[in-house]
Amino acid sequence: MDAIGASKLGSALAKCTNLSKLILDISNNKISDQGTSDLGFALANCTNLSSLKLDLNNNQISDLGASNLGSALANCTHLSNLKLTFHNNKIGDQGASNLGSALANCINLSKLTLDLDYNKIGEQGALDLGSGLANCINLSNLALDLDYNEICDQGASNLGYALANCTNLTNLTLDLSRNQISDQGASVLSSALTNCTNFSILTLNLSANSFNESQQLKVKSQCLKSKRLVVLKIYFQL
């Protein structure tokens, strides 16, 4: 499927005005920014959507497509359960930033899975994405996959500070494996996350970064300071 096919698909879905739940897998195609944008604008007409799972893995989507899709979905104000997967596209800082800002308008979101692994997101994108998600005031369950991007210590730290403002989060899965994070970034990240006082489940993947054994223990001990934490899983090796 190319951009024209995605546009036609979106146009057809836009007529389903009473649609409340949608699962759409259009991964492994040749969908570019134009097709993604058109699909998003069409879905914005599905104002009754409460649950959406949209798989756009392995396409040709860059900042513009991700931004426009996010802006369009912000009109779906009834969304409470959203899963967006962008594995192996071309999304950088601007796309991640705009996506975060747009999702902040989905005020009823309680469960979000956002897969942005194998893209080109760096420091600013990580910060802005986290800051945007912090405005999703009803968000209680978040799975954020930023595996294999371009995030260094500052990006990991800023992401931690931003997510610490998600005051209603009870379940967080955060994958930052295969980036360029050292012990400093991991330490600040884990310390910041302890400010999420409602955590009961925390899964943190820091595999294939740069930590020795003592640094790993430090990260674990900091995470254990979360008073309501029941389940903690931290991975340092793939």
Interacting residues of 139 by C-beta distance below 8 A, sequence separation 6+: 109, 110, 111, 112, 133, 166, 168, 169
Token couple for 200? 């009961």
Class of domain 3-235: alpha beta
Mean pLDDT of 98-103: 95
Tens-place pLDDT, residues 23-80: 999 999 999 999 999 999 888 888 899 999 999 999 999 999 999 999 999 999 899 9
The residue with greater pLDDT, 215 or 178, is: 178
Residue linked to tokens 């192996």: 88
- Burial pattern 190-227, b for ≥16 Cβ within 10 A else e, equals bbbbbbbeebebbebbbbbbebeeebbebbeebbeebe
The residue with greater pLDDT, 86 or 17, is: 86
**Where in the chain are the domains?**
3-235
The pTM (predicted TM-score) of the whole model is 0.96
Whether pLDDT at 2 is above 80: no
